């Protein structure tokens, strides 16, 4: 795997993760606008969604790094 492939793979993965979690945030805002949840519940849920999204992005990046390193080692053999 070339470095450009790694960078594209990493970018695409993070973009998909961010898109998915943005959708959760939009739905959460809709609930707040429709008075289905309180401001406190909104803030708590928003914080959890952002934390989970950031954790998933970091996990994906770590896995991509590991995959890239393993393939580099194999190519060097």
Q: For residues 76 and 56, which has the higher predicted lDDT (pLDDT)?
A: 56
Task: Give pLDDT, residue 4.
Answer: 83
Task: Give pLDDT, residue 7.
Answer: 84
Instruction: Supply the pTM of this predicted model.
Output: 0.79
Tens digit of pLDDT for each residue in 12-34? 988 999 999 999 999 999 999 99
Is residue 76 pLDDT above 80, yes or no? no
Cα separation of 70 and 64, whole Å?
10
> In sequence order, what are the residues at sequence separation of 6 or more whose Cβ sits closer than 8 angstroms to the Cβ of residue 70?
none
Task: Give pLDDT, residue 69.
Answer: 84
**Mean pLDDT, the chain, as a whole number?**
90
């Amino acid at each position: 795997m070339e470095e450009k492939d790694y960078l594209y793979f990493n970018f695409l993965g993070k973009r998909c993760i961010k898109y998915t979690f943005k959708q959760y945030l939009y739905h959460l805002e809709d609930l707040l606008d429709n008075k289905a949840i309180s401001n406190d519940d909104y803030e708590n849920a928003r914080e959890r969604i952002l934390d989970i999204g950031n954790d998933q992005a970091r996990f994906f990046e770590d896995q991509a790094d590991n995959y890239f390193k393993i393939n580099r080692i194999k190519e060097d053999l």
